[in-house]
Structures are given as C-alpha cells and as structure tokens.
C-alpha cells in the first residue's frame, strides 16, 4: 500500500509523466510499481522481485535494474523514487553537480551529482554504474532523463524527490546571479535534523495528495 500511495503522490505532485516508478525494500526482495501510469497504480499491481534477480518479470519497468543495484550497494536504503522533475532536465544539461541551494537540499547530501549519461538504464551493468555514481548522496540527477532519489521508506523517497525538484528550480533561478553558498556548518546543521524533518515532509506530501485515482 505504501508504494502505491507514494506512486500516486508523485503523479499528483506533477513529478512524473507517463513514466516513473517507486519501490521499497522488503527484506531480500523489493516491491516495485509496474510499467504503468503511476496515477492509476494500486497496491495489487505492484511486483515483488528478489534483490538478486538476474531477469525482470513481465510488466516490470526496465529501469528496475537501477533500483536493484541501489538496494544492493546501499543497505540503509529502504525506498526509491524515480521521476522526471522538469527543472532537473535543464540542470542535467548544464552542470555535473549541484551544491545545496537551500536548507532542505542539504538532506540530499553535501551536493547532488549529475549522472553523465542519458542512456536508458535498462541493463544490470548500467544499473550498477549508476549506483556507484550516487556515492554518498541520497539523490541524483540523470542527464536528459529526470532524477532518482532514495529514502528510508516510500514517503521519504517522495519527499527527497520533491526537495530535489525544488533544488533544481532554485539553481536555475539563481544561475548567473551572485550567490552565497551554504557553509559547511549550515549544511551539517540541516543534515542533523533530517531524521526528524524529512519524514514529516513525506507525511505532509502524502496527505496533501491523498485521494487520487486508483484501481
């Protein structure tokens, strides 16, 4: 249910178009939304896949390889959101890394990396390369292909994606203008309250978008 609720929240927030997916770790498996419009996804539509899978079942998003690789590489990751915030598409073509643009953006890491390839991540090896590029961040912009964000659960993954979208928008608005970057002390201060505040943002976003269509 949490995965489907998060999927519909991404759709209601306008962070996905016809493509996008949400997954959650379930012991040694992941539960992931099908290759479908997230606005219509119900819990019964979601697929359960072993984290060690060597093939994807019918109806599964081909980019599930990225989810599997991230779960395997980052044991603390409990959920993943894949979306296409419009601002991330512009940012991904103009830089290779985004420093935190506001306090909440610090929750994504000391900086947000940009994955340098626009090739679709539809193979296990490409999924592994994407996971390696994430490094210590909890979100990454995918050049020409939206973004991916990790969280402790589906709601916080949605919150991370929302924060990433805002960070990209702010970055574009201030590009070329004088800016005072956040200090290391300010970044650490915001990161210290992440366990308290990011789940609150996730709960807010799911409440805000509750009631969307589902089958």
Residue 211 confidence (pLDDT): 56
Cα dist from 4 to 106, 109, 194, 197, 211, whole Å = 27, 26, 24, 22, 12
Residue 213 confidence (pLDDT): 47
Tell me: pLDDT of 144 over 90: yes
Neighbours of 51 (CB within 10 A): 15
**CB-CB contact of 85 with 167 (8 Å):** no
pTM of the model: 0.94
CA 39 to chain centre: 17
Return d(Cα 47, Cα 23) in angstroms, integer: 9
CB neighbour burial string for 168-197, b if at least 16 within 10 angstroms, e if fewer: bbbbbeeeeeeeeebeeeebeebbeebeee
Return d(Cα 54, Cα 5) in angstroms, integer: 28
Count helices and strands (H / E) in the chain. Answer: 7, 8
Residues 6 or more apart in contact with residue 188 via CB below 8 angstroms: none
Return d(Cα 12, Cα 199) in angstroms, integer: 19
Tell me: pLDDT of 214 over 50: no
154-195 tens-digit pLDDT: 999 999 999 999 999 999 998 767 678 899 999 999 999 999
Neighbours of 19 (CB within 10 A): 16
Res. 18 pLDDT band, cuts 50 70 90: confident
**Secondary structure of 96-135 in HEC code, one letter for each residue:** CEECCCCHHHHHHCCCEEEECCCCCCCCHHHHHHHHHHHC
């Amino acid at each position: 249910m949490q995965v489907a609720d998060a999927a519909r929240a991404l759709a209601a927030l306008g962070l996905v178009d016809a493509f996008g997916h949400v997954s959650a770790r379930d012991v040694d498996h992941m539960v992931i939304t099908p290759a479908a419009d997230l606005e219509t996804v119900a819990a019964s539509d979601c697929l359960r896949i072993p984290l060690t899978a060597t093939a994807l079942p019918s109806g599964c998003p081909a980019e599930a390889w990225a989810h599997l690789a991230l779960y395997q590489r980052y044991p603390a990751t409990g959920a993943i959101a894949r979306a296409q915030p419009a601002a991330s598409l512009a940012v991904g073509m103009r830089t290779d890394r985004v420093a935190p643009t506001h306090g909440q953006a610090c929750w994504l890491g000391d900086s947000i990396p940009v994955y340098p390839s626009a090739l679709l991540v539809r193979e296990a090896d490409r999924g592994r390369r994407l996971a390696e590029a994430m490094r210590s961040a909890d979100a990454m912009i995918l050049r020409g292909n939206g973004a991916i964000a990790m969280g402790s659960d589906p709601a916080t993954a949605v919150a991370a994606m929302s924060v990433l979208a805002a960070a990209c928008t702010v970055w574009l608005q201030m590009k070329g203008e004088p800016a005072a970057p956040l200090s290391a002390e300010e970044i650490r201060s915001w990161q210290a309250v992440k366990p308290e505040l990011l789940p609150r943002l996730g709960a807010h976003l799911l409440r805000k978008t509750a009631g969307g269509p589902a089958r």
